[in-house]
Amino acid sequence: MGVFLFLSLFFSTFLTENLTKVNVTEEITMMIPDQFRLMTDDEIASRYFSTKRPVAIYTNPSVTIDLGVNKSVTQWSADDLEIMVSFQKSNIYNFYDEIEMISQGVKEVNGKKTAYFEFVSTVKADSNTQSFRSQSAVKKYTYIQYMIVGKHSWVFNFTSPLQLQAEWQPQLADIMDSVEFINKKK
């Protein structure tokens, strides 16, 4: 038993990533795992079907974990964040076949009010699709954080395969709580 505990602690220290402060845009910095890199345009196109390109999507070396930043113009103000949360929660539940909500709420991150959702999603296999491969449901661990800054809604999201949840969940507070908007003096 003692050897198992020692090995678990030994290997878990190698599983956690070191974080580096990165300028995501001219106005945003955040901590990103050292091994992550920006996705290429081809990788983004093959994995995300959207007409609007994200601000940035970082991925791990095996391209199985995504850390994305997106921005859109909004009519919401920062004071409307709690109301916006109910709409976003509804969107999350409509987007996936099943949701197991781990945590949700509103918190402050570097002086900005932030809404967040942490959950496990399930997308069931399409039973109408004919395939030689066996199809099974896809389960993912996700943390989404929303901020309203000026006339923009910012979305920071982390997604990994469910089996990597235990490895990444402890670090997400450091990553998501590091988001900082830089005030530019003109």
Q: pLDDT, tens digit, for every residue of 101-157?
A: 999 999 999 999 999 999 999 998 876 655 555 578 899 999 999 999 988 999 999
Q: What is the mean pLDDT of residues 34-57?
A: 88
The verdict on residue 12 lying in a domain is: no
Mean pLDDT of the chain: 86
* Predicted pLDDT of residue 125: 81
Q: CATH number of the domain that 82 lies in? A: 3.40.1000.10
Structure token digits, residue 136: 């099974």
pTM of the model: 0.84
Q: How far is CA 88 from the centre of its chain?
A: 14
The verdict on residue 8 lying in a domain is: no
Spatial distance between the Cα atoms of 16 and 47, rounded to a whole number of angstroms: 25
The verdict on residue 5 lying in a domain is: no
The verdict on residue 6 lying in a domain is: no
The verdict on residue 1 lying in a domain is: no
Q: Regarding predicted confidence, which is higher, 132 or 45?
A: 45
Structure token digits, residue 137: 């449901």
Q: Regarding predicted confidence, which is higher, 74 or 134?
A: 74
Domain that holds residue 55: 19-127+135-181
Domain tally for the chain?
Answer: 1
**Which residues in the chain belong to E strands, given as ranges?**
19-23, 28-33, 37-38, 56-59, 66-73, 98-109, 112-123, 138-149, 152-161, 180-181
